[in-house]
Structure 1
Amino acid sequence: MIHTSPIALVTGANKGIGLAIARQLGAAGHTVWLGCRDISRGVMAARELLGIGIDAHAVQLDVKDGASVSSAAQILESEMGRLDVLVNNAGLMFAPSPSLAEESIDEMQRMFDTNVFGVMRVTQAFLPLLRKSKAARIVMMSSGLSSLTDALDMRSETWTVGFGGYCASKTALNMLTVKLAKELEPDGIKVNAVDPGLTSTDMTGNGPGHSPEDGARPAVALATTHAYGPTAGFFACAPSGELVQKNW
């Protein structure tokens, strides 16, 4: 069976920003696959999207588990034959420690395994399917806290923010974004990182911030960018909805 609609995979997509990204891509005409560590929750989320007319499917995918990632790639290859959009949304963050000198090394390792190595594990596994697309897009869910420029700027709102391990993991992800974008440019695959902004989700304790729907907008914009769109960039959405480039 030939699938004419664009095919997207969003990791960590059973709730929050990931589900909002899947919903918006589905509304734009994509067939969406929800990569979820807990498949039962993924199935429930896919049913929610199916209920509003979106072609949605769930697949078990734990970014920290190589066997799980390989199995998911095999399923999409069998069912779809290609992949047009990969949104690496799954992420992990712990509560900040009093100081970096006291931060748990175990927690830092777990964040790097999800936010950096997990992203690369997924990207490497799905690259063969992305190479079968005529215009593949990869979007990395970064953070405004990843910017070295802002971290060094006393005028920045992030100047006093802690979260050393989490920030470092997202900064590392930014470097991999740039390296991948340069390597994959000859294949026509665009790779960008996005800052969703402060978003009220389970990860942030459902505290202050805008909605997951707003947090999803920059990822959706980069996932659907045209042939002359950017690559190797770091973007957020302005209040007007337009993409704005951020400092690395």
Structure 2
Amino acid sequence: MGRAFGVGELSRQGTLIVLGLLALFPLYFSLVNSFKTPVQYAQNPLNLPPSLGPGAANYARAWSQIGLPTFNSLLITLVSVLLLVMVSALTAYAFALMDFRGKSALFAAVFILLLVPDFLTLIPLYVQIKKLTLPSNYLAVILPYIAAGQAFSILVFRTFFAQIPKELLEAARIDGAGHGQMFTRIVLPLSVPILVSVGIIRFVPIWNDFLLPSLLLDERHRTLTMALVKFQGSAESYTAPDFGALMAAYVLAALPLLVIFAFLMRYYIQGLTSGAVKA
């Protein structure tokens, strides 16, 4: 029986290792080919580069194409996520820890928004933005990103805030603390893991979004995804991409996500295992 358990455990570990390697393969493919010339890429795209010499030129060319768009994407994504988390946390606090007329009906309306697929709202959203005559800059996409993530974030934060011990809040209220002080000094410090988790969950789709920025942003404010698509070669120019520089651009595009996960992974795991995201 002990042997069977050992074989089963070994099988599970082996499966996880294989799945992990498969998940890392795209990063490996992009990284090794970012140091190759087009000829070396055509010969064998899977082997290690014979030298790292072409890498400097590939990364220099890639950065010349995606440098400003990377800054634009960072600005749009960070501002959108920070404002989204702040607004949804305030709303969730009201739903979880305050009593007011119509609270249940309003929360039910927020929950219903989760049942509406995103693609059904794309055309109405585009028409509404055009009617608001928003400029074709960062604001045109930041406001929709903030609104689009509210329903999910409010639901998660409300579930977590409702689990905070009522005795702790009552003690603060007896000491004269108002809702603003309880929110900033008690609720937020206790909610850092779930705030980070929701922030990362919303960060990834905003960072990777192509459709909305391509519809609303001008050339000066284009995002990283728009620059990558243009770098690949557009249908108008019929150009073939330099795969070494293109892979270097992919690696540079993935770096911000890797850095964020490296520094915030501990809080992200805590938030996922706290039970709040189960809702």
TM bracket (short chain): under 0.3
Structure holding more helix per residue: 2
Q: TM-score, normalised by structure 2?
A: 0.22
Structure holding more strand per residue: 1
Q: TM-score, normalised by structure 1?
A: 0.24
